[in-house]
Amino acid sequence: MTERGFLDVAMQSAHAFRAIMQAVARPGRVLELGSDLEAPDPLLSSAAAVALTLCDFQTPIWLAPELRNENVIHYLRFHAGAPVTDEPGKAQFLFAMAGETWPAPALLMQGTHEYPDRSATLVIQVAGFAPGDVVLSGPGILSSEPFGVAGLNTSFWAAMVENHARFPIGIDVIFAAPGLVAALPRATEIRLLESV
Amino acid sequence: MNAPAYNFAYLNEQTKRMIRRAILKAIAVPGYQVPFASREMPMPYGWGTGGVQVTAAVLTPEDTLKVIDQGADDTTNAVSIRKFFVKTAGVATTERTEEASVIQTRHRIPEAPLTEEQILVFQVPIPEPLRFLEPRETETRTMHALEEYGVMHVKLYEDIAQYGEIATTYAYPAKVADRYVFDPSPIPKFDNPKLDNCPALQLFGAGREKRIYAVPPYTKVKSLDFEDHPFEVQSWSEPCALCGSCHSFLDEIVMDDKGTRMFVCSDSDFCARQRGER
């Protein structure tokens, strides 16, 4: 049986998009993403809401091995109509789990200097947020925003610092925790704190 | 009405997803113009089809919408777009700036300061600031890629050489987050300082030209100028004839065929508030 998606697609995707958009517009700020849908294990319902709000037949999806099972693939194909690809470099949206495996950001679609919008969005499922890893600044942030994500190590943040250095090309990251969403677009400057 | 005649906010869900993806990339690369598959809307190009599509993609049923045209809530364009969303999305509307959660605007930024809870959607006719200097899209795209904006400074310099000052008074080019030069839509340069470090998210939609771009909240927006000819906004020798405000943008209104003129606030909500009518 396939888990059900949005009951009322227009209303629920509008609400989900508002939360996602405000998260991307205000990097590091954790916002509520309550979504009335079911998601197949181990996909979080917040990550599923991101997928059903943004993905369709135009956006190839890549799934990390931990998320890649028949139920999840069927769910995304059935509700979003999105093709699931094996090649991370061809995916517009990638779904991964914190602390598990995912391809280096540099291997994903970066966009070009002429078309920086043709780049991948990485959705990372996380357990929660705890400021302490990094301090963010840049567009969307008044002065600076302390930020941290459970289960992400120094190598991830180092890769994101590199990602920012490639601006305006690069990937954008959305973090999906149970009932919550936050984002780290490529324009955001990242300062690592010593304790990480 | 039993069954809704339209999908919420008129556009179908696939169109909204496409626009929403473009909006997210536009926010991620501040000031860069993201191409999008602009749809035919039930109004002509030039009437705000870009702004309408962006508004439709961000609107939720709980929003309170304000629509202004040249600052006024009661002009044809503003009234028809407001009615469009009342009919297709059933959202509440307001003329008061601080009550609105989404404000669609043509050619002005409201005088009242915006907040973090608000989203400002601009209608844009020509999104490319370099278009009148370089007509080829392939060239302007390369110029943005290489951050090659010398030609724009030459244009501003030629203004100074010819008129003694920078003669651009609206759609005044500015640099977003120290990277992309962008066209803030034909707002008067009076409004350019409001773009800078604004708490509200600012989205720009150009329907005919099929581009969406954004200025995230609290983002640096620097109007182009020279050290010896710094950016300046317009000023008027007299206050608003209706409310007496000395610090709002004034429209010149011809009163008769004998040359009588009157200067009044272009922001109708601000002016009414100043007069104590609201």
Domain spanning A9-192 has what CATH number? Answer: 3.40.50.11310
Query: Is A22 close to B32, i.e. CB distance below 8 A?
Result: no
Minimum distance, in Å, between the CA of residue B79 and any CA atom of chain A: 24
Is the distance from CB of B20 to CB of B14 less than 8 angstroms?
A: no
Backbone angles phi, psi at A143, to 5 degrees: -130, -70
- Give the full edge-to-edge strand order of the sheet including B221-223: B180-182, B174-176, B221-223
Read off the pLDDT of each residue in B80-87 and give the average, rounded to a whole number.
Answer: 96
**Best CA proximity match to B13, nearest among A94, A6, A106:** A6
Asked if residues A111 and A169 have their Cβ atoms less than 8 Å apart, the reply is: yes
Beta bridge partners of A172: A121
Q: What is the domain partition of chain A in residue ranges?
A: 9-192
**Complex ipTM more than 0.90, yes or no:** yes
Average pLDDT over residues B166-176: 96
- Type of residue at A29: R
User: Is B271 among the residues known to form the active site?
Assistant: yes
Among B17, B32, B217, select the one facing A116 at the smallest CB separation: B32
- B196 close contact with A: CB closer than 8 A: no
Q: Which residues of chain A have pLDDT under 50?
A: 196
CA distance B276 to chain A (A): 33
Mean pLDDT, residues B127-132: 97
- B66 CB contacts (<8 Å, ≥6 apart)? B73, B82, B93, B94, B95, B96, B97, B99, B100, B102, B103, B104
**Residue-wise over A65-100: b if at least 16 C-beta within 10 A, else e?**
eebeeeebbebbeebbebbbeeebeebbbbbbbbbe
Q: Inform me whether the pLDDT recorded for B1 exceeds 70.
A: no
The question of whether B31 is a catalytic residue gets the answer: yes
Q: How many Cβ pairs within 8 Å bridge chains A and B?
A: 109
Q: Identify the active-site residue in B48, B150, B271, B276.
A: B271
Contacts of A14 in chain B (CB under 8 A): 8-9, 16, 59-61
Q: Distance, in angstroms, between A150 CA and closest chain B CA?
A: 23
Can you give the pLDDT at residue A100?
Answer: 74
From the list B90, B246, B265, B276, the catalytic residue is: B265
Q: Which residues of chain B have a CB within 8 Å of the CB of A76?
A: none
Is the confidence at residue B92, as pLDDT, over 70? Answer: yes
What is the predicted pLDDT for the residue at B50? 97
Which chain A residues are closer than 8 Å to B21 by Cβ? 54, 59
Q: Which of B243, B244, B246, B276 is catalytic?
A: B243
Going by C-alpha positions, the residue among A159, B62, B65 that lies closest to residue B54 is: B65
In the structure, what pLDDT confidence band is assigned to residue B32 with cuts at 50, 70 and 90?
very high
pLDDT at B22 over 70: yes
Nearest CB to A114: which of B22, B142, B177? B142
- Tell me which chain A residues have a C-beta less than 8 angstroms from the C-beta of B14: 56
- Top residue of A15, A59, A117, A141 to mutate, by most chain B CBs within 10 Å, is A117
Summarize the confidence of residues B237-266 as an average pLDDT.
95
Cα of B161 to nearest chain A Cα, Å: 33
> To probe the interface with B, which of A8, A13, A20, A24 has the most B CB atoms within 10 Å?
A24
B25 CA: distance to closest CA in chain A (Å) = 6
When the pLDDT of each residue in chain B is averaged and rounded to a whole number, the result is 96
User: Does the global pTM surpass 0.95?
Assistant: yes
Q: A68-73 contacts: CB < 8 A, separation 24 or more?
A: A69/A40, A71/A2, A71/A3, A71/A40, A71/A41, A72/A40, A72/A42, A72/A43
Residues of chain B in contact with residue A59, where contact means CB-CB under 8 angstroms, are: 21
d(CA A65, CA A82): 18
Q: What is the spatial distance between Cα B121 and Cα B67, in angstroms, rounded to a whole number?
A: 9
Annotation says B265 is catalytic = yes
